[in-house]
Amino acid sequence: MKTNLKISFEFFPPKNLKMYQNLWNALNKLKIFYPDFVSITYGAGGSTRKRTHDTIKKFTYRPSIKPIPHLTCIGDTKDSIKKLAIEYWKLGIKSIVVIRGDPENIKLTKKRKFITFPNGYNYASELIRDLKKIRDFEIIIAVFPEKHPESKNFGEDIDNLKRKIDLGATKGITQFFFDNNKFYDFMNILQKKNIKIPVVPGILPIINFNKLTELASNCNASIPKIIKNLYKNKKKEYEFDLSTDIATKQCLDLMKNGFNNLHFYTLNRADLTGKICSNLTKKKLINKSYDAFWS
């Protein structure tokens, strides 16, 4: 299987010295995979704005790493957000991941509600429009293979996606998913709607399955029954290998179907993501019994 595999990683800005050390340790271990870029998240409620900016600045000192900040509509005025974007441009940052964002401390349930900041943005599309006016940023957006949790239906999701593309978005990264068939169905919908921007699959290695189930439910990401059964009564010391095999198989299936750009949500940890990426570069699958996942 010949591929031109491109790998990218997502990190979140550290809160303290120990977390700062963990971030750079993870980066130093993962940089051997020559990431296409690394993205830095922007916390709920805009809570990490300064830390995100400071982390991005430190990344710019490493010429081999292309950092891309997240920018949201949350917790700040339009003018302040535009000023931050101009600062990024001056630092040499020409790409931004633009998302609407979530309020701080929100419980991601059906009761979630976005509240516009005074003199702030209501929608990511508005922010995209203004960013393209002030500088010619590459705009990357989030896409949802299983529908955004707040959207009424896929039609509404697709309309929002088209609006962002019309305003200047040129690439998408998906919310994490575990069922490749749902991703392929989504890509088929985009093709039928003549939406042609590249979409990079987002991969979340399963570090803690119990915590994952709640997060996946909140993000509208289904977990196939076969995966749930594999973790049932699984001893903790065997979960690392199981998680490695599952993500490796998922990625190999995506690559076989022509998706050679993969974005990993690292949670600032290198062990599991690093093992998966090592398997992919060797085109290796540890346990062949998982071949039936997406067949």
User: What pLDDT digit, counting tens, does each position of 39-71 carry?
Assistant: 998 755 445 567 787 888 888 878 789 999 999
What is 6-290's CATH topology?
A: TIM Barrel (3.20.20)
Per residue in 227-278, pLDDT tens? 999 998 777 778 999 999 999 999 999 999 999 999 999 999 999 999 999 9
3-class SS of residue 99: strand
- pLDDT exceeds 80 at position 286: no
- pLDDT exceeds 50 at position 157: yes
Per residue in 27-40, pLDDT tens? 999 999 999 999 99
Q: What is the pLDDT of residue 103?
A: 60
- pLDDT exceeds 50 at position 290: no
Q: What is the pLDDT of residue 173?
A: 98
- HSE at residue 251, side-chain half, CA atoms within 13 A, is 31
* CA distances (Å), origin 37, targets 16, 63, 120, 228: 24, 11, 29, 32
Q: What is the pLDDT of residue 288?
A: 45
C-beta of residue 160 within 8 angstroms of C-beta of residue 151: yes
| Annotated catalytic residue within 10, 87, 104, 237 | 10
Mean pLDDT, rounded, for 2-21: 86
Q: In terms of Cα–Cα distance, which of 291, 277, 101, 283 is closest to 205?
A: 277
Q: Across the chain, what does the average pLDDT equal?
A: 87
Kindly indicate the confidence band of residue 190, based on its pLDDT and cuts at 50, 70 and 90.
very high
How much is the pTM?
0.90
- pLDDT exceeds 70 at position 110: no
Examine the residue annotation and report whether 10 is marked as an active-site residue of this protein. yes
Q: In terms of Cα–Cα distance, which of 190, 179, 200, 191 is closest to 260?
A: 200
